[in-house]
Amino acid sequence: MLSNLGASLIEHGRITTTVAKAKALRPWIEKIITKAKQAGAIARVEKNGKQVLAPRALHLRRIAHRDLRNEDMLTKLFNETYKEFEKRPGGYTRIYKLGPRLSDAARMAMIEFVKADDPGYPKRKRNTKAKKISATKAKAAKAKAAEADAPATEPAAGEAKA
């Protein structure tokens, strides 16, 4: 199942499936992409005037072929697709959760390759307005506590005590 899902993902760039399958596919396909990157980083070797894959690159390709059994998609991954991820240290896929499927209400998700220049999700800015409000409330509470702790003032000289 993962082999077929991985082949479809490499072919189309994104697929829609259930959440459980997408979560299972993510680490599986990322390991294969890492193998393709490692094989691509190894230079081709010249043997008898021909360029052939270095032995380590060939080994990585065979290991990937053991998992991803679609030869056409494996060739596409090792020759073209891995170049998109050369400068990316990891996180080659992204999962978007979609609504439930109409027929059986299964939770659906879309898994896609992340573009090489995609920085990821932006960092959230803290809500400064909420900080200001809470700081104002804290000051008011301190002032109230200070008033309660302050000693009672004595009456003025002209006033009589009751």
Write down the domain spans for the chain: 2-113
Supply the pLDDT for residue 138. 76
pTM: 0.68
25, pLDDT greater than 80: yes
Average pLDDT for 145-159 = 64
Superfamily (CATH H level) for 2-113: Ribosomal protein L17 (3.90.1030.10)
Q: How far apart are CA 67 and CA 32, in angstroms?
A: 8
pLDDT of residue 77: 93
Averaging pLDDT over each range in 86-90, 105-109, 115-119, which range is the top one?
A: 105-109
DSSP per position, 86-111: TT--S--EEEEEEEE-TTT--EEEEE
Q: Report CA-CA distances (Å) from 114 to 67, 84, 120, 143.
A: 22, 9, 8, 53
Q: Tokens standing for 82? A: 């891995």
Burial class of residue 36 (count of CB atoms within 10 Å of its CB; 0-12, 13-18, 19+):
buried
> Could you tell me the pLDDT band of residue 156, with boundaries at 50, 70 and 90?
low
Compute the average pLDDT of residues 90-104.
94
Query: What pLDDT shows up at residue 101?
Result: 95
Give the mean pLDDT of the chain.
85
At residue 80, what is the residue type? E
- How crowded is residue 132: how many other Cβ atoms within 10 Å of its Cβ? 10
Q: How far apart are CA 139 and CA 121, in angstroms?
A: 35
Q: 18, 109 in Cβ contact below 8 A?
A: yes
